[in-house]
Amino acid sequence: MSEVLTATKKDAMFTNEDVEKMMHRFHYSEGTKEIIRNENLLPLGVLHRIHLTYPQHSGLKETGEFYFNDKNQYIGIKGFREIAKILSSHGIEIGHLEERELFIRVYRFMATKHVLNTINWADFKNDSKFQLVFPQPGMIRADITKAYLNAGSEEEREKIVKDYLHETNPHDGKQQLNKPTFINEDGEIEVVEGSQHKYPPVKLIFDMQTQNCFSFCNYCFRHAQVRHDEDMFIQKEIKQVHDYLREHKEVTDILITGGDAGYIKAKRYEEYITPIIEDPGLSHIRTVRLGTRVLTYHPELIITPEYNDMLKLFKRLYDNGIQPLLMSHFSTPRELLNISTIAAIRRLKAHGVTLKSQSPIMNHISLFQDKNGKVDVDRSAQNWIDLGNILAMLGLGFHSMYLARPTGEFHYFNQPVSEINKVFNKIYRSLASINRPSRYITQTSSAGKISLLGTVELKGEKYFALKFNEGRNMEWMDKVYLTHYDEVEKTIANLRPYEGDKHFFDDELIEIENKLHESIQTGRKK
């Protein structure tokens, strides 16, 4: 027994020479290699422990040559075809090319070389990153797909794509109503077009520099931003944000998001944070968050010398009592277990950045079915239990898990609330309390973020117990409420009220929505 253990341990050992070889495999520049060595970003102890504990997820011992070396991003149908060709030249056929292209024409496609090179192409169908980034058969409704594949001409295909595009639902939850308004210096109502302020403590900013992503996730909930639809949110003027914040002392956190906030340049970020640090009228801001998938898709950015300016700004915030926070979106262990992501995490942490992760639980990526098409509770839960433990080992907080909102190809990614409840229960009880998600699983609707607490039996009947985690009226958070148990419904907001035909907040929600609508219309007329 001990011999086996010793052999396993020996096999997993890493040496400095191994690290040099790994850095060479990732084609790091000399500047990046120097940073990694000087800042101790890949200590052997970390690599040993993670690989020994999670060999089934680890890419650390992979030595194969990378297939994607000539550019940083592969974009659109052209990029997709280039990828298929490169794979084909290595004997890998992903198949279903036309069907995958239909998805790309309706939504979009982009993949970084990092994400492509860290997919295990020997078993790509089961690789979570492949499922996350590549369009899959069955995503677009069967009738649309059939019509597209059978179309006789390019004009016909074009029409099918255009018609279907109008059917897709980029915004749910009445997001346009989240645009804040305020009385400006001239006493007029002004709409902050590139922001959302739905819950009192947090203001979201869709900055003009962050309207792109590094790679696109198949399930993106921000199609309007990603496709650059007419109704996208876009914040051009930074002063307007500060003016609004001076009037809103209830805001403690700003969240720069997108697209991907990892795109923000140091100069523009500095324009956001300098008044927050220096102006006493903004001393109520405690945290500056960046919502980004850079650690999954392009972690190499953070370990370049060019990123030093951003790191200085994070440190400046931290040294002024303001929390710089990077909210990442990990949903599978595989996203973390490569040297670029590990080194980037350690570099950010060394510069005072708090790191957390929140992500949706999605079919085929982080939620699995058995051969009979039923949710495989054990396998799905294990993905998240391993993820929670790896996040802890690297010092990231497991902020939250959520059910996706009904946007995009919702049917493909979601499962009934009742099944998700079983998976989440197992995750929650299997992790140590400090490594669990910081709240029960939620789903967002216009009313707010609603947590699914579990089930309860009353007089022989089963019900779901729910609680607001955030609400358009924050006082709604104080109540636990019930809905009928349902084995089919995938959207929490559609669950049938416990009594009558309304939830306790429904009437007030309509009132609030009407007022917000009126205020935005008045602001736009000025």
**Given the rule CB under 6 A, which residues bind ligand SF4?**
213, 216-217, 220, 222, 225-226, 258-260, 293
d(CA 26, CA 22): 6
Whether 338 and 309 have beta carbons less than 8 Å apart is answered as no
Residue from 464, 444, 365, 437 nearest 403 by CA? 444
Return the number of the residue (148 or 263) whose C-beta is nearest ligand SF4: 263
Q: Minimum distance from CB of 247 to ligand SF4 (Å)?
A: 29
Tokens of 480: 């636990």
- Residue found by looking up tokens 């399930």 in the block: 219
Whether 205 and 193 have beta carbons less than 8 Å apart is answered as no
- DSSP E strands in 160-272: the ranges are 181-183, 189-191, 195-196, 202-206, 253-257
Return the number of the residue (220 or 452) whose C-beta is nearest ligand SF4: 220
Return the number of the residue (227 or 439) whose C-beta is nearest ligand SF4: 227
Task: Map residue 478 onto helix, strand or coil.
Answer: helix
Whether 194 and 236 have beta carbons less than 8 Å apart is answered as yes
Q: Minimum distance from CB of 196 to ligand SF4 (Å)?
A: 14
Return the number of the residue (161 or 220) whose C-beta is nearest ligand SF4: 220
Return the number of the residue (76 or 200) whose C-beta is nearest ligand SF4: 76
Q: Minimum distance from CB of 223 to ligand SF4 (Å)?
A: 8
Return the number of the residue (100 or 503) whose C-beta is nearest ligand SF4: 100
Whether 114 and 340 have beta carbons less than 8 Å apart is answered as yes
Q: Minimum distance from CB of 488 to ligand SF4 (Å)?
A: 26
Stretch (H or E) spanning 359: strand 354-360
Q: Minimum distance from CB of 110 to ligand SF4 (Å)?
A: 8
Q: Minimum distance from CB of 119 to ligand SF4 (Å)?
A: 16
Q: Minimum distance from CB of 374 to ligand SF4 (Å)?
A: 27
Q: Minimum distance from CB of 321 to ligand SF4 (Å)?
A: 30
- Residue found by looking up tokens 């609603």 in the block: 450
Residue from 381, 480, 389 nearest 421 by CA? 381
Tokens of 139: 């995503």
Q: Minimum distance from CB of 524 to ligand SF4 (Å)?
A: 26
Return the number of the residue (19 or 261) whose C-beta is nearest ligand SF4: 261
Return the number of the residue (157 or 222) whose C-beta is nearest ligand SF4: 222
Return the number of the residue (355 or 381) whose C-beta is nearest ligand SF4: 355
Return the number of the residue (217 or 251) whose C-beta is nearest ligand SF4: 217
Q: Which long-range contacts (CB under 8 A, 24 or more apart) does 32-41 make?
A: 32/300, 32/303, 32/304, 32/305, 35/303, 35/304, 35/305, 35/347, 36/303, 36/343, 39/346, 39/347, 39/350, 40/346, 41/303, 41/342, 41/343, 41/346, 41/347
Return the number of the residue (220 or 387) whose C-beta is nearest ligand SF4: 220
Q: Minimum distance from CB of 132 to ligand SF4 (Å)?
A: 9
β-pair type (253-257, 181-183): unpaired
- Cβ-proximal residues to 418 (8 Å cutoff; 6+ apart), any chain: 485, 486, 487
Whether 236 and 283 have beta carbons less than 8 Å apart is answered as no
Return the number of the residue (259 or 299) whose C-beta is nearest ligand SF4: 259
Q: Minimum distance from CB of 131 to ligand SF4 (Å)?
A: 13
Q: Minimum distance from CB of 400 to ligand SF4 (Å)?
A: 15
Ramachandran region, residue 265 (left: φ > 0; alpha: ψ -120 to 50; beta: rest): beta
Q: Minimum distance from CB of 218 to ligand SF4 (Å)?
A: 8
Half-sphere exposure of 446 (CA within 13 A, CB side): 21
Task: Give CA separation, 352 vs 45, 326, 348, 497, in Å.
Answer: 22, 11, 7, 46
What is the signed CA dihedral for 377, 137, 110, 232, rounded to 10 degrees?
-80
Residue from 443, 447, 441, 439 nearest 504 by CA? 447
Query: How much is the CA Rg of the chain, to the nearest whole Å?
Result: 24
Return the number of the residue (36 or 115) whose C-beta is nearest ligand SF4: 115
Task: Map residue 399 onto helix, strand or coil.
Answer: strand
Residue number closest to ligand SF4, CB atom: 220
